[in-house]
Amino acid sequence: MKPYMFAGRDNRKSEPKRYGIKTSNGFEILSDDGELKGVAVKETILGGTFQDSFISLTYFVKEEGGWSEASEKPSFLSEGEFLKALAKMEGFSLAYRDLTT
């Protein structure tokens, strides 16, 4: 995988702007208008003989001084469920395209 700084922030002239990238432990997404970004991370819960994993999504909203973390933090049971939800999210069609092509 090519190294990217963050979804939507690739300063190299030869690379197109990316709205969605797969990272080693999840995904980074940027809204079509660049005003909202998300970091989806695979998390694991361990409890004795019990183990479960899920994808946790944290949103950040662009403000004048930088990015502020949003209060909404949805979670998904798998990467597949995350991608299905992303396909339905308004304003993230470019991120979905980048992650599925």
How crowded is residue 42: how many other Cβ atoms within 10 Å of its Cβ? 17
Query: pTM here?
Result: 0.79
Please tell me the predicted confidence (pLDDT) of residue 59: 94
Residues with Cβ within 8 Å of residue 38, at least 6 apart in sequence: 27, 28, 29, 30, 57, 58, 59, 60
pLDDT in tens, 43-69: 998 888 888 899 999 999 999 989 999
Sign of CA dihedral 86, 52, 60, 5: negative
- Angle of helix 79-88 versus helix 93-100 axis, rounded to 10: 140
